[in-house]
Amino acid sequence: MKIVLASGSPRRKEILENMNLKFDIIKSEIDETTIEGESPEDLVKRLSYEKAHDVATRNSDSIVIGADTVVVLDGNVLGKPKDKEDAFNMLREMSGREHSVITGISMLCLDLKNEVSDFCVSKVKFKNLSDEDIYSYIETGECMDKAGAYGIQGLGGLFVEYIKGDYFNIVGFPISSASEIFKNYFNIDLLKLNKGRFS
């Protein structure tokens, strides 16, 4: 059965490729607006489902994967920064503190009438950051398309004191949770898929 990733994220693409999965990429075009009073967990589950469903309506015979990641500090969702000033303010707020990274993941196959949505939470603590460090990081340009204004898999990893939970969730795709959904709902075992791969 064909698998489709409803995301243009190069990080999600790389994580799935590392699992030796064959898949197509069809980016969803949904409106990613928030709903007042919606919890971060409900937000990422809803958006991941809407992304997957948007693509699944045109690929009903495929397993379509949607994902959405947010950074949460003091109960507030930090999205992608609007500009350099916004990025600075986010990073300054997170300096020396622990925040949450929450990723919603949905997998749908409309022909099979099979749908599942879940979310994963990881904790990240930043070191105490100087303004100079923050400005230098912003000037690399890495932060501008990332939720919370940093990428842990890149130079943003220099800011991290510790993490609790799934590292890949912080990158943007909790592959461990995804593997359970593949196995339990779609009868795809990623370990068996890779049997003998490194021998």
Report the catalytic residues: 68
Name the nearest CA neighbour of 187 among 106, 119, 107, 105: 107
Name the nearest CA neighbour of 42 among 93, 106, 90: 106
125 Cβ partners below 8 Å, 6+ apart?
97, 98, 99, 160, 161, 162, 163
Provide the sign of the torsion angle of the four alpha carbons 152, 157, 159, 162, taken in this order.
Answer: positive
Q: What angle, rounded to 10 degrees, do the helices at 131-140 and 84-94 form?
A: 140
Q: Which amino acid is at 198?
A: F
